[in-house]
Structures are given as structure tokens and as C-alpha cells.
Amino acid sequence: MARLDNPVTVVTGAGGSEGRQAALRPAAGGSRVGLTDLDASSLDETEALVRETGGEVIAVAGDIVSEQTIDELTTRLVDACSKVDGLVNNVGIVFSKPLLEHPVEDFDGVMHINTCPAS
């Protein structure tokens, strides 16, 4: 299988342990990465680790369901790299108790985060 030239990968939820690993792996393989997470300090740590591997990174702290966050990350990536080749969508929430014990607002929140970004 052919490899992409100068690949660009977006990783959401990049501040947590799984997202951090999802960012470091493509960066170590030569991919430039665009990162986002709600937690700015955790995102800063991931960004620093990517830079330590020699990877190129653009990081935007914010809520991935916010059009502002999506627009800022995409604009910066397209300006710097002219493309996006891959996405690791590492953001989602789950119920912590049986479904029927949650109010409708909990269900709506899960559906909004897990299935309808920027809507």
C-alpha cells in the first residue's frame, strides 16, 4: 500500500491518554497533526510531546461541537498544510448508569456529542 505524501491527521480529544497516543503515533510516523481538546493544559502537554518527537502540530483548545473550534482548527490546518488526510474522532460520552435512570437531557447530550458535531 502506498503511503501518503506529508500526511495530515486531526485528533479530537487529544488531551486525554487515548487521544494523546492517537496523536503521537501518526506524528512519530511523519504525519503533521491537528489537535483539539476541551482541556487546554492537557492539550498543551500533548502538543509538547508531539513537538519532542519532531512532529509538526497545530493545536486548538475548545469544544469540538462548537463551530468556532472546528472553523479555527480547519482554517489553521488548511492554511498551513492545504489538506487533511485523516481523522481520529476520539471524543464521546457514555451513560454511567442504566438508560432509563437518565433524564432526557442526558440522552440528548450523548447524541449531540457522539453523533452530531457542530449541529
Instruction: Residue 14: name the closest of 66, 79, 87 by CA.
Output: 87
State the cell numbers at 118: 457542530
AA letter at 48? A
Under a CB-based contact definition with an 8 Å cutoff, are residues 50 and 24 in contact? Answer: yes
Residue 117 DSSP one-character state: T
The reported pLDDT for the residue numbered 66 is: 87
Residue pointed to by grid coordinates 493545536: 59
CA distances from 19 to 44, 67, 81, 104, 106 (A): 13, 21, 21, 29, 24
- What pTM did the predictor assign? 0.83
Tell me the pLDDT tens digit for each residue of 35-54: 999 999 999 999 999 999 99
Tell me the pLDDT tens digit for each residue of 64-84: 888 999 999 999 999 999 999
All domains in the chain, ordered by first residue: 8-91 (3.40.50.720)
Over 80: is that where the pLDDT of 117 sits?
no
What is the arithmetic mean of pLDDT over 25-42?
93
